[in-house]
Amino acid sequence: MTKVTASAFDDVQRETLRAIAAAMIPPCRESGLPGADDPAIIGDILASAGRDTAALVGVLDALHSAAGGNLDALRSAEHGSVLATFRAENPALAGVLELVIAQCYYRDDRVLLIIGMEPRPPFPKGYEIEEGDWSLLDPVRARGKIYRDADDGRAS
């Protein structure tokens, strides 16, 4: 199961994460979606960074430093911002941020309900998908054999 990792982060790192999460996924008044800086979602991120904990701590420290300790400078992802520059220059590290934030944001009950998913694990209920119409294969059948015989190599 997911390992609890919240104790790995100090207060500055938590506040830095909160600022970045809000900049990455802000709330949406129109749909009612929370922002990724919602307290429950931030708590989930901090508790479940798992194998990415060390990398995440490093990214948060680097961004806090890049912002000169000014968290307000991390609240925007617009072109030219600290975050936009960091993303462009460090796509792998930006990927760590995107993963740890998105994997908690998109399992929050409120978010799932608004995007049209039932807030449940796939098992045991599963899902339905359409069987389809196998007559779609008629043209493929009509074309006939396409593999090569191994003895003489001639395709039919």
Partner 1 sequence: MTGTANDPVDVLIIGGGASGAAVAWSLADTRMRILCLEQGDWVKPTEFPTTGRDWEARQYGDFSVSPNRRGLPEDYPINEDESPIKIANFNGVGGGTILYAGHFPRLHPSDFRVRSLDGVADDWPISYETLEPYYAQNDEMTGVAGLEGDPAYPPKSVQMPPLPLGRTGAMLGGAMNTLGWHWWPSDAAINTQTYDDRAPCINLGHCLHGCAQGAKSSTDGSYWPKAIRARVELRTRCRVRRIETDSDRMATGAHYVDPDGVERFQPAAIVIVACNGVGTPRLLLNSASEQFPEGLANSSGLVGKNLMFHPYGQIRGYFDRKLDAYRGPRIGAWSMEFYETDASRGFVRGYCYQFSRGLGPVSTATAGMADGLIPWGEGHHAGFRRLFEHSAGMVSICEDLPEEINRVTLDPQLTDSDGIPAPKITYRLGENSQKMLDHSIARATEILKTAGAREITVKSPMPSAGWHLLGTARMGLDPQRSVVNDWGRSHDVRNLFIVDGSVFVTAGGVNPTSTIQAIALYVADQIKARLHNLFD
For partner 1, the binding residues (CB under 8 A) are 1-2, 23-26, 28, 31, 33, 48, 50-52, 76-78, 83-84, 87, 91, 95, 98-99, 102-107, 111-112, 115-117, 119-134, 136-137, 139-141, 143-150, 153, 155
CB 56 within 8 A of CB 96: yes
CA max distance for the chain: 73
CA distance 14 to 1: 23
56 phi and psi angles, rounded to 5 deg: -65, -45
155 forms bridges with which residues in the sheet?
Answer: 148
Q: Two tokens at 123?
A: 């098992």
Smallest gap from residue 52 Cβ to partner 1 (A): 8
Nearer to partner 1, 11 or 116 (CB): 116
Q: Two tokens at 24?
A: 């990455």
Nearer to partner 1, 11 or 154 (CB): 154
Nearer to partner 1, 11 or 155 (CB): 155
Nearer to partner 1, 11 or 133 (CB): 133
